Amino acid sequence: MIELVDNDIDELLLVLNQNRASPLVLDPSRRQALCGNHDVQACPGSGKTTLVGLKLLCFIRKWTAPRRGICVLTHTNIARDEILKCLSGHPSGFALRSYPHFIGTIQEFVNTYIALPALRSKGMTVTQIDDDHCVDRLEQMALPGTKTYLANRHASISELRYRWEHNSLILKTPAFQMPSQSASYTNLLAIKARLQAEGSFFYSEMYAYAQESLFHNPQLVDALRYRFPVVLIDEMQDVQGFQDELVSAIFDHADVHYQRFGDPDQSIFDGVGGELPNISYNSADMQPIVESHRYCPAIAVQLGGLSSRKLVLTTSREPAPGDPSNAIILFSNDTRAQVLDCFAGIVQTLPASRRLVVKAVGGVAENSGDAAAPLNIKSYWPDFQRNLQPQNPKPDTLCQAVGQAISLRAGGQGLSLILDAIVSAFRLAGIRFISRVGVEKPPSRSGLADHLRSKQVYGTLRQMIAEWVVGDDPSEEQWNARVEALRALLELPGQNAGLNSFLAYGPAAAPVEAEIDVPINTYISEADVKIELATIHSVKGETHDATLLLETKYRTLFDLKEMIPHIMDHALPAPVFDPAHQTTHVSIRASFMKKAYVAASRPRHVLALAMGRDRITPAQRQSLVDAGWNVIDLG
């Protein structure tokens, strides 16, 4: 196994820093992360993705095994793309994009190397792995009586899926604890069988089939460990428990350089989708990287109280003379509408170059209908619409993907949309990809380039896509001509209803963000300060110039009221989230803390909080003033 030492880092930095205006400098904690294989907690703005990229470049410069590779797993496509972008700045990085290496999501890895081969060995066909599609089809096929039965028992048809439990593959049937002779139970079994016959599966089912395959074929674990002796995982705090269980069972072994990067303090997706979070990483002791390159010292000193792990955070940034103090804006019901204007006044004191990205964020976009005295983002600005948050809709057809790409023009995001759609077309056609070593694989983005090159159409397709993107939206006649050319180039079949529907001419998807003239969910003050409103979850990973954290209410608890004691006293023990009891006050406060930490660690220059004036005591006000906060009471 390859070992990395300080000299490997120094040699790489010598090359990289030749073309950098500001040289990369690594402190001891970052060097330890590069040379070791222990779990790493990287604070917000610490350059975690850059660190992962540097480690990969150090490894690939010493790599000699032609059929063994480095495996990099991420939680999301965005995280994968960030790593690939980081590697693109060095010639050695391109070697990591293809065989024998793998960079992709955990889902892609499990599908490609375990689940899909296992399903094929059972004689099962896979045409689509998508939760939304599966739920839609089950809803369409379920009998009215079945739907009524589930509704009366507050059960969801989305739970009709296979899981791996007690060393067995089990079909979980919602609202039924055991087999039944009822019509609803019989209907559930029938529509599930029909769904699988169509080749449609839930994402989580791929893990169940993978677990089954590993259980019955233990030699597969040894083969994967040999194939990938180095495994790095990014954004580990967001990896769900069932994903962690599978990946750790394979790679957490003495024969593998297995290292996980993330930040448990930012694990704000605990319990999302009803799945339990991982505990092997989020509850583990690990080496922290506490120096950020994002926020100024005045913000760094305030964040410690919101760190669940009680990190003492530092920053490489120098204080900027004239920047306003961090502020706490207090309001009543009568003055809550003034909060955004007050924040705009604070932001306006920043130079124009340091107030380009200004956001106001909250933990709750909208309260449930039965919530008493609700408080959410909309409470501060009634025009806020949760469904208009700045995220691009996923195109449903190739035509929609091209339409979105045209709106983005030369952006890499547009090309990515079309390539994803091309992969979908191959999947619908039932075409297998051929790797550069001649091995057949299911279609994927990571294998697309090799397949196209094996067919000698890579350059032709790229030229075809470029011509699509630089033009205008096509007419139906033009589109049909394009599809005919594409079918011929990629050898796509004509008698395939699903593929034909995907390739058909159709209306464009909702416009992408770059196409919108009026800023989405943006409040504009009289002084023309633009403040975008968003949920905390939607801004994770972003960097702002100034951020306002809006107090919101969940159930009976106000998040900032619960966090003020921790902001005042950094030594106060942090509440601990209990996955088995997610709605207790302790678990809710633990969730509040992590979301507040994510929000408060976004800005470079100014952090502000807004909360009800009746939820803070005079003694707390004075304590916050003594700690450097500017407390503004709107009355």
626: domain CATH number is 3.40.50.300
In this prediction, residue 437 has a pLDDT band, given cuts at 50, 70 and 90, of low
Q: Which helix (H) or strand (E) holds 563?
A: helix 559-568
Task: Count up the domains in the chain and report the number.
Answer: 4
Q: Which one of 274, 289, 304 terminates a domain? A: 289
The structure tokens 């209803």 sit at: 497
Q: Indicate if 98 and 225 belong to the same structural domain.
A: yes
pLDDT at res. 368: 67
- Residue 274 vs residue 67, higher pLDDT: 67
Helices (H) and strands (E) in the chain, counts: 25, 23
Clarify whether residues 407 and 272 are in a common domain. Answer: no
Check whether residue 384 and residue 261 sit in a common domain. no
Based on the fold, state whether residues 96 and 225 are members of the same structural domain. yes
Residues 566/593, Cβ–Cβ less than 8 Å: yes
In a domain, 206, yes or no: no
Q: In this structure, are 501 and 581 located in the same domain?
A: no
CB 591 within 8 A of CB 577: yes
Q: Who wins on pLDDT, 474 or 317?
A: 317
Residue 366's pLDDT is: 81
Convert the pLDDT of each residue in 505-549 to its tens digit: 876 544 444 444 456 889 999 888 999 999 999 898 899 999 999
pLDDT for position 369: 58
Same domain for 626 and 528? yes
If one compares 400 and 192, the residue with the highest pLDDT of the two is 192
**Can you give the pLDDT at residue 514?**
41
Contact predicate 495/391, CB 8 Å:
no
Confidence label for 411 from pLDDT (cuts 50, 70 and 90): very low
* pLDDT bracket for residue 472 (50, 70, 90): low
- Residue scoring higher pLDDT (5 or 128): 5
- Supply the pLDDT for residue 517: 45
Alpha-carbon span 358 to 531, nearest angstrom: 5
Is 281 in the same domain as 302? no
Pair 314, 411 in one domain: no
Please check whether residues 346 and 482 belong to one and the same domain: no
Mean pLDDT over all residues of the chain?
A: 88
| Residue 497: predicted pLDDT | 83
Co-location of 509 and 404 in the same domain: yes
Domain stop point among 513, 539, 557: 513
Look at residues 173, 180, 171, 175 and name the one whose alpha carbon lies nearest to residue 150.
Answer: 175
Q: Identify the domain boundary among 513, 544, 574.
A: 513
For position 270, what pLDDT does the model report? Answer: 63
Q: Calculate Rg over the CA atoms of the chain.
A: 26
Range 468-486 average pLDDT = 82
| Whether the Cβ atoms of residue 9 and residue 58 lie closer than 8 Å to each other | yes
pLDDT at residue 391 is higher than 80: no
DSSP per position, 267-315: -TTTTGGGPPBP-TTTTS--EEE-EESSS-HHHHHHHGGG-TT----EE
> In Å, how far from its chain's centre is CA 118?
27
Q: What is the per-residue pLDDT across 319-363, written as a single tens digit (0 to 9) for each?
A: 888 789 999 999 999 999 999 999 999 999 999 888 999 999 999
Please report the beta strands in 478-543, taking only residues with DSSP state E, as ranges in sequence order. Answer: 522-524, 530-535
Flag whether pLDDT at 256 surpasses 70.
yes
Cα 250 from chain centroid (whole Å)? 23
Residue 435 confidence (pLDDT) above 80:
no
> Which pLDDT score is estimated for 462?
82
Q: In this structure, is residue 210 part of a structural domain?
A: no
Domain interval for residue 147: 128-198
- Return the pLDDT at 442: 81
In a domain, 119, yes or no: no
- Counting residues of the chain whose pLDDT is more than 90, the rounded percentage is 61
CA 400 to chain centre: 23
Average pLDDT (363-387) is 82
Match 């976004």 to its residue by tokens: 602
Query: Which tens digit of pLDDT belongs to each residue from 91-128?
Result: 788 888 888 999 989 999 999 999 999 999 999 988 88
Do 22 and 157 belong to one domain?
A: no
Question: Is 228 found in the same domain as 100?
Answer: yes
Nearest one of 21, 95, 27 to 62, comparing CA atoms? 95
Mean pLDDT in residue range 433-440: 74
Longest pairwise C-alpha distance within the chain: 75
Give the pairing type, strands 168-172 and 200-201. unpaired
154 within domain boundaries: yes
